[in-house]
């Protein structure tokens, strides 16, 4: 083998090595670019938090039927019986005492968290608004879901007929009857 031939072989080996490393460098660059592109895409498809909140609220509302229709056929007498589930913590008579929960006289269409001398949870105190029929319907369905952080330890009334009876009974416990919805 002449020196010339040895040189040629060495030269081709060197060229091959250079080509292979160039390919791998370019490959890395390409993959990196792809990744940056993907990262950008991921950033662009950002989820709008407010939207997803609305969806959650809508599904919650869908799940709970409106009470208005049920009130017309509800029974206050049955509501009084159902109130036994509440008596451990609530009174409903005028000037009734606060127990574990606040007195419930004159509740409908009155400001939430408004009973004097009762220490409400921050969650209920900050909710704001009035106890309209639908608010009560939602609250009594699942108190801890409707007002997250409430200290009312009651799992809720699942049957809308029972909630209607109870709400109609609570409506009677007031100086003047709130108009039906």
C-beta of residue 141 within 8 angstroms of C-beta of residue 158: yes
| Distance (Å, whole) CA 100 – CA 119 | 10
Q: Which span (7-15, 17-25, 31-39, 110-118) binds ligand HEC, by CB under 6 A?
A: 110-118
| Distance (Å, whole) CA 106 – CA 176 | 8
Q: Which span (11-19, 29-37, 44-52, 99-107) binds ligand HEC, by CB under 6 A?
A: 99-107
Closest CB to ligand HEC among 30 and 97?
97
85 is an interface residue for ligand HEC by CB under 6 A: yes
For residue 138, count other CB atoms closer than 10 A to its CB: 21
164 is an interface residue for ligand HEC by CB under 6 A: no
| Distance (Å, whole) CA 132 – CA 137 | 9
60 is an interface residue for ligand HEC by CB under 6 A: no
Residues of this chain, 26-45, that bind ligand HEC according to CB under 6 A: none
Contact with ligand HEC (CB under 6 A) among 67, 102, 160, 173: 102
Contact with ligand HEC (CB under 6 A) among 52, 58, 153, 180: 153
Tokens linked to 55: 């969806």
Residues of this chain, 121-150, that bind ligand HEC according to CB under 6 A: 121, 123-124, 131, 140, 150
| Distance (Å, whole) CA 54 – CA 59 | 9
Q: How far is the CB of 42 from ligand HEC (least distance, A)?
A: 40
Long-range contacts formed by 84-89: CB under 8 A, 24+ apart? 85/154, 85/157, 86/154, 86/166, 89/152, 89/154
| Distance (Å, whole) CA 156 – CA 142 | 5
For residue 71, count other CB atoms closer than 10 A to its CB: 18
Number of residues that bind ligand HEC (CB under 6 A): 27
Contact with ligand HEC (CB under 6 A) among 67, 79, 90, 138: 90
Q: Which residues bind ligand HEC (CB under 6 A)?
A: 85-86, 88-90, 100-102, 104, 107, 112-115, 120-121, 123-124, 131, 140, 150-154, 157, 166
């Amino acid at each position: 083998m002449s020196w010339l031939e040895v040189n040629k072989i060495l030269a081709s080996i060197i060229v091959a090595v250079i080509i292979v490393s160039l390919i791998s460098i370019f490959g890395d660059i390409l993959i990196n670019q792809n990744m940056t592109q993907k990262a950008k895409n991921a950033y662009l498809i950002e989820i709008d938090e407010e939207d997803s909140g609305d969806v959650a609220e809508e599904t919650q509302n869908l799940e709970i039927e409106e009470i208005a229709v049920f009130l017309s056929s509800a029974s206050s007498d049955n509501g009084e019986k159902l109130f036994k589930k509440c008596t451990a913590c609530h009174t409903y008579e005028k000037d009734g005492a606060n127990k574990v929960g606040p007195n419930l006289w004159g509740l409908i269409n009155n400001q939430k968290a408004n009973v004097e001398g009762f220490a409400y949870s921050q969650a209920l105190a900050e909710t704001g608004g009035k106890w309209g029929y639908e608010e009560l319907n939602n609250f009594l369905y699942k108190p801890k879901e409707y007002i997250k952080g409430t200290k009312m330890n009651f799992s809720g009334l699942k049957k809308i007929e029972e909630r209607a009876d109870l709400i109609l009974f609570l409506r009677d416990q007031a100086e003047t009857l709130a108009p039906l919805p």
